[in-house]
Structure 1
Amino acid sequence: MTRLIVTTDSSAAGAIQRAGLADLVIAIERRMVGGPLLSETECEAFFAPRVAHPNGLHWLDDTPVWLLERSGVRGRGLIDLLSECDTAELWMGPEPNAQLLLLWLLDYCGTEEAAVSKLSIRRLDFAVGDLAPEQLAKLNPPIARITQDHVELAGRAWRAYCASTPQTWFELIEMDLSLLPQLERCALDLLEELPGVTTGLGATEMRMLELIAPGGVQPFDVFPGHQKRNERRVYDYWEVGVLLDGLARCPVPAVAGLDEGPFTLDMHDDARRFAQYKQSLMSLTDFGTAVLAGQEDFPRHNPIRRWWGGTLLTNERLWRWDRESRLLIEPYVRL
């Protein structure tokens, strides 16, 4: 094999493969936002040759088995495969999850010179999966060869994201991140998803409240997506569904009218329940209106327990973000 492309979306991988831009295109769809990160041992196993990994915990699990078998790479480890390629390009989009995967990959490969020497990054400012193969074949996105400076910056940023507090990630926005041009936007987008200093909600949750405020709004009207009014791109479909549940299914709801749930695969598999969910007409409660206006603090009335990178956010340990001042606010500790 001479040409390998690694991307973060199966539909994008299929389009790139059909465009004939590589001998093999592999998608890694691992989500790095909205849940706990893999442990150090799990990370090592994720990229190693397959031994006895549960499904979803190996880097090749999102690529069709027939394609892996045809290419002779089924069960292979990342470093071994990179070392055998003439070139390996990372096609990572601008959305935060893709940028986090880029950091993770570069940090993992950083100590293996034979692998790093094959790597290049394509800078993508568009959604590859939205383009036809013939369109992709004509494009030539900017490309940069990976250097040790790239590896060091990616490693520093990845360790900051994995840390038990957001402090070192916050420090990134004061650094020169130009080697990884989309990292600065990623850093800010993720900081904005921390609980707000006055409302206790992140930017995606606040945008959903804004869209629900007129009333009579159906759930998928507030989900992000192509040409949708919710322009936030941090969370995916399933994660946004969980966020909406959190606003509507809690002791003091901010959202009324969500008729079905929770937002799980079981609900999607039940045609009646899923139809009822989609037809829900939502509005803000009085409490939700007050939160949107910055007059109420959501966590003062509702339990919070969710992951932001390596940070577990709880009511007792709630890091907050001041968007206007671009400041990180430490949890208030009662003595």
Structure 2
Amino acid sequence: MLTLHLTNGDSAASALARSGLPGDIVSWRDVLHDGPVPPDNDLRVFHRVRAEFLAGRGWSNLLAAITDFEQRDARLDDVGAGDEVVLWFEPDLYDQLQLIQILARFERRAPSERPRLTIVPADCYLGLLLPEKFAPLYAARREITPEDLVHGRVTWRAFTSSTPDELLAVTNRLDREVTARTYTSDDLVRLPHLVAALRRQLEEYPDVDAGLSRSERQLCEALSPGAITLGKLFAAHQVMESWVWLGDVSFAWYAERLSDCAHPIVVHTNGSRVIAPLRATDGRAFWERTVQLTSFGQDVVRARADAVQANGIDRWIGGTHCMKAQYWRWDARTQRTELVPGT
């Protein structure tokens, strides 16, 4: 019998490797909250779309990204009946999107061809754990049920849909059906963190008040008191999350989007625009530079101006492409998305 541990990235995988638990470890490396995420029925197309986005941002080499995806998926193909796949995923959005992708992948298989699927009850960040903390989590792992696989398939399909309507509907339905919000609050729950993560994803649509996503609003509100370095801004942004999910590379890109536009919202204190460093370069100087809100940015934070109306929008959220011709906004008061047709 083969035991395959799937986890969210290199940090958790490294910590897991030091635990001494038996089995192979595979890191599921992809920032699914950024860039286009089409349905993955055709894996070759899916790999290409994701790799082209990552390479276009300078976050990976095109061929390296495709190779990593292919090797990762080949390991899933290698496990079958009689094997066990152990899922090690944290409560945050980054991890939960990876989790539903994996669940959807296994749901497509005939029940007789599926490995045993279990999930560890992680109400914590795995990469920060000491090696000896992994064995108790492993011993407490819970069986993934056919119902959980269906939840994964339905949620993944909704996330990769061309509109947010299905994702909102699935989130609301799961909110009613899965009432536990942590593993410690229910000995049987397997997916307690999914609803909060999906709702956090919906909050990335521009809001109805000023056209800012929640991430963008948090960034701007942290700058409202005055100029600070990008490093301190990133730290302040993370504190505003219940579960931290946004990495520094993505954050730098978000800051660039707010700066490199027709009407900048954030700029360096000398007035120059923020340009995110390429991953292959030394970005230390980037994080030490000081930034501030522009006067227009102050107006946006106070809902006296609208970021999307002024600067347009071109952003993928899962399978949904938001463009000025057609996009959606998030209303935090009603917890609904609103379609904004082109003008």
TM range (shorter): 0.7 to 0.9
Q: Would the alpha carbon gap of residues 44 and 6 (structure 1) be closer, same or farther in structure 2, given more than 3 Å must change?
A: farther
Instruction: Please say if residues 255 and 274 of structure 2, whose CA atoms lie closer than 8 Å, have aligned partners that are also in contact.
Output: no
Measured in 2, the distance between the counterparts of 1:242 and 1:197 equals 23
Letter aligned with residue 110 of structure 1? E
Name whichever of 129-138 and 248-257 sits farther off: 129-138
Match of 1:54 in 2: 63
Measured in 1, the distance between the counterparts of 2:220 and 2:274 equals 18
Match of 1:28 in 2: 28
Match of 1:242 in 2: 253
| TM superposition shift of 1:77 | 4.1
Question: What secondary structure, in the 3-state scheme, does the structure 1 residue paired with 2:327 have?
Answer: coil
| TM superposition shift of 1:222 | 2.0
How is 1:133-144 mapped onto 2 (pairs within 5 angstroms)? Answer: 133-140=131-138, 142-144=140-142
| TM superposition shift of 1:236 | 2.1
Letter aligned with residue 129 of structure 1? G
The answer as to 2:182 corresponding to 1:169 is no
Measured in 2, the distance between the counterparts of 1:244 and 1:132 equals 33
Letter aligned with residue 264 of structure 1? P
| TM superposition shift of 1:154 | 1.0
Match of 1:291 in 2: 300
Match of 1:72 in 2: none
TM-score normalised by L of structure 1: 0.83
The answer as to 2:38 corresponding to 1:41 is no
Question: What secondary structure, in the 3-state scheme, does the structure 2 residue paired with 1:312 have?
Answer: strand
1:254-286 CA-to-partner distances (Å, cap 9, x unmatched) read: 1121657521327x62x5xx4542332222111
Measured in 2, the distance between the counterparts of 1:99 and 1:308 equals 15
| TM superposition shift of 1:98 | 1.2
Measured in 1, the distance between the counterparts of 2:67 and 2:324 equals 34
Measured in 2, the distance between the counterparts of 1:123 and 1:59 equals 27
Instruction: Please say if residues 317 and 331 of structure 1, whose CA atoms lie closer than 8 Å, have aligned partners that are also in contact.
Output: yes
Instruction: Please say if residues 154 and 170 of structure 2, whose CA atoms lie closer than 8 Å, have aligned partners that are also in contact.
Output: no
The answer as to 2:328 corresponding to 1:319 is yes
Identity %: 24
Instruction: Please say if residues 210 and 300 of structure 2, whose CA atoms lie closer than 8 Å, have aligned partners that are also in contact.
Output: yes
Measured in 1, the distance between the counterparts of 2:129 and 2:113 equals 30
1:232-252 CA-to-partner distances (Å, cap 9, x unmatched) read: 634322111111001122111
Q: Would the alpha carbon gap of residues 43 and 200 (structure 1) be closer, same or farther in structure 2, given more than 3 Å must change?
A: farther
Measured in 2, the distance between the counterparts of 1:318 and 1:141 equals 46
Match of 1:93 in 2: 90
Letter aligned with residue 167 of structure 2? W
Measured in 2, the distance between the counterparts of 1:228 and 1:111 equals 36
Letter aligned with residue 289 of structure 1? Q
| TM superposition shift of 1:216 | 2.4
Q: Would the alpha carbon gap of residues 293 and 142 (structure 1) be closer, same or farther in structure 2, given more than 3 Å must change?
A: farther
The answer as to 2:268 corresponding to 1:263 is no
Q: Would the alpha carbon gap of residues 224 and 93 (structure 1) be closer, same or farther in structure 2, given more than 3 Å must change?
A: farther
Name whichever of 135-144 and 186-195 sits farther off: 135-144
Letter aligned with residue 295 of structure 2? D
How big is the alpha-carbon RMSD for the aligned residues of Structure 1 and Structure 2?
A: 2.7
| TM superposition shift of 1:220 | 1.5
Q: Would the alpha carbon gap of residues 321 and 308 (structure 1) be closer, same or farther in structure 2, given more than 3 Å must change?
A: same
Measured in 1, the distance between the counterparts of 2:36 and 2:25 equals 27
Q: Would the alpha carbon gap of residues 243 and 121 (structure 1) be closer, same or farther in structure 2, given more than 3 Å must change?
A: same
Stretches of structure 1 lacking an aligned partner (at least 5 in a row): 47-52, 64-74
Instruction: Please say if residues 91 and 122 of structure 1, whose CA atoms lie closer than 8 Å, have aligned partners that are also in contact.
Output: yes
The answer as to 2:130 corresponding to 1:132 is yes
Measured in 2, the distance between the counterparts of 1:83 and 1:56 equals 29
Match of 2:239 in 1: 229
- Identify the match of residue 121 of structure 1 among 119, 122, 130: 119
Measured in 1, the distance between the counterparts of 2:135 and 2:143 equals 21
Letter aligned with residue 88 of structure 1? V
Measured in 2, the distance between the counterparts of 1:219 and 1:107 equals 37
| TM superposition shift of 1:144 | 2.4
Letter aligned with residue 304 of structure 2? Q
Q: Would the alpha carbon gap of residues 118 and 139 (structure 1) be closer, same or farther in structure 2, given more than 3 Å must change?
A: closer
